[in-house]
A and B are shown apart, each in its own frame.
Chain A
Amino acid sequence: NAGVTQTPKFQVLKTGQSMTLQCAQDMNHEYMSWYRQDPGMGLRLIHYSVGAGITDQGEVPNGYNVSRSTTEDFPLRLLSAAPSQTSVYFCASSYSGLSGDIQYFGAGTRLSVL
């Protein structure tokens, strides 16, 4: 049982390039989310999804797009990378979005934008 799988683990981009961070889970979880982690800021929510075809914005959505065509996959797209998007990105999933549901995290993607 792989849990939440994120690819790639590391990525270096040039300003203006686009890329997609992949996230897949094999636990049949309805709820998935993307966070970014910056030093001293904790984890901040970018986008989340409560099921296939449904997404919503979090605290810091600007510069990022998401879609959820299947239950398993929740990719995060950077349309035109900026140095401010240098961060560690975490994907997470839970059975639902209810208060008692434990959220499980992928190993993270470390992104540098030059």
Chain B
Amino acid sequence: AQKITQTQPGMFVQEKEAVTLDCTYDTSDQSYGLFWYKQPSSGEMIFLIYQGSYDEQNATEGRYSLNFQKARKSANLVISASQLGDSAMYFCAMREVYSGNTPLVFGKGTRLSVIA
């Protein structure tokens, strides 16, 4: 079963507008971490933001925020005031703790295109 689902293969947003990238996850563990990574056309994977399952506040990092709804098992990335440089692939990922050292599992990604 797919643990991370990103239902939007591609998204367009106007420059300076906000955009939400969807991510739902599947786990029976109570303790887990959720991550978002950005992959620009140059190919590197850049860490953006992290949310722990026990964190009461939604994580924020500059223009990035994570809309964490635990009961719905969703961890959507919100980018405010989009910039042309935000055009990239975005990956949602999860790390569970059921056995201690566990791998990071990724969704298939969403390609965001920012239009001037």
Contacts and interface: CB of A to CB of B under 8 A. Distances in A.
A100 B52 contact: yes
A5 to B, nearest CB: 12
B47 A102 contact: yes
A40 B108 contact: yes
Contacts, number: 70
Interface stretch (A18-26, A68-76, A77-85, A90-98): A90-98
Interface string A20-43: 000000000001010100001111
B103 A33 contact: yes
A104 interface: yes
Given A99-B33, A107-B43, A48 B103 contact: yes
A98 B108 contact: no
B45 A105 contact: yes
A94 B101 CA distance: 10
Majority-rule SS of B interface residues: loop
Contacts of B50: 100, 102
Contact of A99 (B9, B44, B47, B53): B53
B102 A97 contact: yes
Interface bin, chain B: 20 to 34
A106 B78 CA distance: 26
A58 B105 CA distance: 10
Contacts of A105: 37, 44-45
A65 interface: no
A66 interface: no
23 contacts: A35-B106, A40-B108, A41-B108, A42-B91, A42-B107, A42-B109, A45-B104, A90-B45, A94-B104, A97-B95, A97-B100, A98-B101, A98-B102, A99-B31, A99-B32, A99-B95, A100-B33, A100-B50, A101-B33, A102-B50, A104-B47, A105-B37, A108-B43
Given A42-B91, A45-B105, A97-B102, 16 more contacts: A33-B103, A35-B106, A40-B108, A42-B106, A43-B106, A44-B106, A98-B100, A99-B32, A99-B33, A103-B47, A103-B104, A105-B45, A107-B43, A107-B44, A108-B43, A108-B45
